[in-house]
Structure 1
């Protein structure tokens, strides 16, 4: 819960520019507090958010929901598959842009993913995440 409060504090009171057209984000994070705060931050930026706490559910959404515009996935997830797997599926099968988020800056998956995917380290500011999304979607 303390991490949740920290993220809310870091989110700040300034609102970034809202999106011009609807953008749907698939958010994949297994930590409920982090996922909730991130979802709220994204919604404050004007994004529509579908949040999932596991890779299997996220892959099901990607396979069945054509309205997803971008995927934001935590790198480290429980089980055999992780955020990089969601990102790979999103990129290769659905042609979607993906941003990986991680609280482990020296984790091998994060290091290996730096050249292939945009990686944002936790904790991040609302403005920072919004900027990464806009850059990925070419909305700057």
Structure 2
């Protein structure tokens, strides 16, 4: 399989970094910043229960609305990543946390990814150079195995 059909994605809930091979070297080829924000607050809002002060008169329970907004942002993020991955046949998804599992589950439900190879790997919080080395070691380990 050609290197142009392979992609690695370092993923968390705040951003996704796409790593591919160009001129024989692994390099960052794209980045998607997530619209997902875990905590939603309006200016002047102290917590999910109070708005514009601590007086009961101004109390507002907006937890359900915030959850709905967060879920829509997360779906939009995952859909954006799916669209960017459509042209690749061999996909490595790595990172920490639940974002890689969410993306993997979404891709596995899509008919467009039925014939594609999707691999998940855990990694700790790592630097840019460590991400490139992680991808290089993974791809070169497959070809030498």
Answer yes or no: same fold by TM over 0.5: no
Scaled by the length of structure 2, the TM-score of the pair is 0.41
Scaled by the length of structure 1, the TM-score of the pair is 0.42
